[in-house]
Structure 1
């Protein structure tokens, strides 16, 4: 038969990883942000020559970036609703698909309208889905180390975006406009692997054993007060009992002293009575002896 300890159910409290797989989520989120914002900060370097050959570069760049910004921020509002209905991993996969599709389509761009559709719409929607899902995952995977995780992400992103335009210009000098965009598109497909890393947080929750019963703090407080009151009453009772014993000892001492004096008087009285009896007995014997002597010394015939 199983012992009670073996049959006793153990309950657990689930806590966020706050590390572990969460650091892979930090890497994934960092990659999302770089893939989303990298082409945005280097748009002039990559698409500048193309726009200058076919359109007014300044006005075309302004139209392209304005369209991208409007669609990106509008998608953020939609993403908020999606994250409440589906997992952030699903949202990230959809964003990765749209982002990589927009980057790949931009390789074959022929006019401004095509570029607005591929970059200003598809990439903007994809980025608007990727970035919120990435930071939602960070928020769910970390608790006490959340600030540290976000700081790592922002530090790497900031350092990468500083050198991204220089790298884009280096690629433009060596591979031209379409070759550079092809490299950027190939790099953007890594977003699928980053989205794959975004596991549901429940897969990596830490389990901490806890007691079967949740403590009732009001009952604990009441028990503490009762315990304190019992200790106080016990102290008062012990003090009263000690005083009673002291008083009883004093009374017993007085009683014993009185009894001792009474006994002494009684013994004295008994001793005096005994001496009196002995004296009377001796007196009687003395008188009898005198009578015998008187009868012996008296002559015969004398009356």
Structure 2
């Protein structure tokens, strides 16, 4: 199975400049993508009473929206590869806005599932995927920091929307609030406008030429040498081109990548318990008799802590001690989430929920800041767009089923503690799995690196020996071929 991706791309990202404006645009786009489904939980209790539905039925609203966002990943990836990040994000903002406006006229819960869940979730996918992809084309050395800052958008937007949604509901009801939210989310169009194509330097062997890039240009630049070498083989040229076109959108070879499989397996289990605790945090507080504004304030506390821990996690992940083994940092973050959920039912009263919200914000922010950085660390920036598309389409299953299954536990037992216990197990088990499997993966990578180094040393010694023999005997390759003498690994024998 192939090792982790090399970290020396053919092109050199600027690591700054307009890239920071792109990070700000991604900050807004990612913020709405992740925070919007969570902030809508403020309206769940009232919508549940309005349509006379159960906890599991109202939980489907966030689940369908999140699942559509994840399932739309491959579609968004194809559009980004074809058109670039800017137009895709702007179209996504318009889709979410239209979905909220249409939902405000809903007469059944199925209407909300279709508008908010499907149309809105697909629009969020068009906001999330391009924002994640374009950061890798602007940053390399400072990429963990840039990713951490961009991912901070989620808690910042949630911190703002949680109390705002409660105010909007008190003033206009849930229908009027959805109309106002439809206008607010149009800020994603402004964020997409910042994601302009920039300049990159493609480093060839003899010269460096500036070229425009957007969408899949990073992948194309990273594979330019391989493509040129394959073009020199006329018998396989067409076959190679057709395979490249297919792999540009769906790189199935990732399913033979050891690190990608470890990441995928752990994440599939993890996402069964990742979003449900956030979705049910405010309803859980109201169930305990806490007033509506105090319940909404728990989300603000969670978001405030999350807001500061994400860039801090990016800074820590970028240090020379953590960056080479950043997968262990991610494993700890996932396990920390599980422990927080297992201890949540033991927290007494509102003060206990405040303490839980603080630690949950720490744990959730660490995972969110490292989630896509660790995937990029495993597969490389040039394969990240395809990898994140495959990951999101597979993860949409647990994202869709997680909150409704948790809601079903509340319906069955009439208490929230069993839901939090289940989510804790779903987070702690993959955290331990990540620790074990990444230890194995790092060990195998070290062995493969030592073998490659030994092979390169042996090849170098053989080449030096042949060159020495040629020099002593006065024999050169031109005596046989008429071409000037060249020494390389291919003609050293």
Which structure ranks higher in relative contact order (CA pairs < 8 Å, sequence separation ≥ 6)?
1
**1:14: Cα distance to partner?**
6.8
How far is 1:91 from its partner? 2.3
Counterpart residue number, 1:119? 116
Q: CA deviation at 1:47?
A: 4.5
Matched, 1:79 2:73: no
CA deviations over 1:64-112 (Å, ceiling 9, x no partner): 2332233222111332333333322232233222222112212222221
Match of 2:185 in 1: 188
Hey, what does 1:25 align to over in structure 2?
22
Where 2:104 maps in the other structure, the secondary structure is helix
CA contact (8 A) 1:21 1:204 kept: no
Show the 5 A alignment for 1:99-110: 99-110=96-107
Aligned equivalents of 1:85, 1:211: Cα separation in 2: 29
Residues 46 and 177, structure 1, Cα contact 8 Å, conserved in 2: yes
Q: CA shift at 1:124, angstroms?
A: 0.6
Shift of residue 207 of structure 1? 9.7
Matched, 1:62 2:62: no
1:140 matched to 2:137? The reply is yes
What is the TM-score normalised by the length of structure 2?
A: 0.37
Distance in 1 between the 2:43 and 2:18 partners? 36
Alpha carbons 1:46, 1:180 under 8 Å: kept = no
Q: How large is the Cα RMSD of the aligned pairs?
A: 3.1
- Counterpart-to-counterpart distance in 2, 1:37 and 1:211: 45
TM-score by length of 1: 0.59
Q: Is the 8 A contact 2:103 2:116 kept in 1?
A: yes
Q: Is the 8 A contact 2:64 2:117 kept in 1?
A: yes
Aligned pairs for 1:250-269 (under 5 A) are none
Instruction: Provide the C-alpha distance between the structure 2 equivalents of 1:151 and 1:100, rounded to a whole number of angstroms.
Output: 27
Contact 2:103 2:115 in 1 (8 A): yes
Shift of 1:116: 0.9
Distance in 1 between residues matched to 2:29 and 2:145, nearest whole Å: 18
How many Å separate the matches in 2 of 1:111 and 1:127? Answer: 23
Q: Distance in 2 between matches of 1:31 and 1:193?
A: 9
- Distance change in 2, residues 1:14/1:41 (3 Å): closer
* Alignment counterpart, residue 157 of structure 1, candidates 142, 154, 158: 154
Out of 29, 37, 52, the position equivalent to 2:34 is: 37
Q: Distance in 2 between matches of 1:70 and 1:182?
A: 23
Q: Point out where structure 2 has 5 or more consecutive residues left out of the alignment.
A: 1-9, 209-459, 469-493
Are 1:171 and 2:168 counterparts? yes
Q: Which runs of 5+ in 1 are unaligned?
A: 1-12, 227-303
Q: Which has the higher Rg, Structure 1 or Structure 2?
A: 1
Structure 1 14/59 Cα, relative in aligned 2: closer, same or farther at 3 Å? closer
Q: Is the Cα–Cα contact under 8 Å of residues 165 and 177 in structure 2 kept in the other structure?
A: yes
Q: Secondary structure at the match of 1:143?
A: coil
Aligned residue-pair number: 205
Match of 2:46 in 1: 49
Following superposition, the deviation at residue 59 of structure 1 comes to: 3.3
1:141–1:110: structure 2 CA closer, same or farther, 3 Å change rule?
same
